Structure 1
Amino acid sequence: MSKPARPNPNAKQQAAEARCAAMVHHARTLIAERGVESMSVNEVLRLSGGSKATLVKYFGGRDGLISAAIDQEVEGAMALLRFADPETASLPLADGLRQVLGGVLRFYMLPASLKLYRAVVAIGVREPGTAAAFYDHGHRVLVDAIAAFLRGHAAPTKRETAAFADMADQILHAIRAGLHERAVLGLETAAVEQATIDARVGRALDLLLPGIEAALHD
């Protein structure tokens, strides 16, 4: 007589992971459609088949779920930007920055990115947890990736002392200043052409590159 099959000890965990993935997927969809403020946790749970207990266990609550949704958005952008691509890392400093920053600016100017940015700005004071999640899992991730790129091009004596994150932060603000603000405010509604992005990144690097090179090598 054959013994009854034992339940797979991993099946429960796999089911929980599948529900978590579904929750993040539906959170991303609702955020894109309605904005952060109008994202309903109850609707996410209904669509995903999850429970409040699962939400609390794996995400800690609404802010954690929003963080996970933003993480996935940024992960997708990072893959497209090819930060970790050895070919990108091996490019000369100017060429690598031009490629990476062009991709970052395209990401910032996507309609979905602009919508999320507007929504978080609108509720940031009332929901500081959401604002912190947006900053830490969005902008700061990009800053850290660009800082790592700069560190890889720095002289050995500079790799432990240069303020790479501060440089990366200032570079990001320089390429999007004005253009991104106008789009967030609705003053620019047309899609930004690739030529405009390339020209803006090029002008910013013309101004910034001498200082960046000096900081990395002097």
Structure 2
Amino acid sequence: VKLLRILEEKEFERVGGNQTIRVDTRLIFATNADLEEKVKEGTFREDFYFRLKVVTLHNPPLRERKEDVRPLAEYFVRQFSLENGKKPMEIEESAIEVMKNYDWPGNVRELRNLIEHMVLLRDDSPITATDLRDYLNVASPSEGVSLPMGVPLADVEKEYILKTLEAHEGNRTRAAESLGIGRRTLIRKLADYGLGST
């Protein structure tokens, strides 16, 4: 109710005070919730919602704004380098591609944390695709996998699985996630190929 009064009448009283204070300000609110849905569910006040909804800006998630990955990453490198008294490191083009192909479930905050980690724990050598794959647990199993004509599909699958396991340092759970299969399925396939101890 007090916030509604500030929005509507542009005035408030301090806690314990009796003097009305006028304010001339604009407020910006941000949310990742669907407020229209919350109003329908009765979990968000309708009158408050309509007072807030003067101008609405929709900011899509980072995974839908791949063109923003490079400038954001470079900005965060400069920011954290300056804060920590370090020379800003370069980001290799291959690393930019890894970032553009990543889905960023944690959105910009995840990218920010990644770059902060890189700046804090590295010297000023360039950030590479390998650095990012290790941090993001993103495999690159296709690297080094050749598909010559006449090779049985089972052999190609076996090599692909081995490369994925190698990229994840033998971690079967992460390898299975990267392959898009269940861990049990991966274990069964390894057994089928005589790789049960891998």
Same structural fold, with TM-score higher than 0.5 when normalized by the shorter chain: no
Structure with more relative contact order (C-alpha pairs < 8 Å, separation 6 or more): 1
Structure whose CA Rg is larger: 2
Structure in which a larger fraction of residues adopt helix: 1
TM-score by length of 1: 0.27
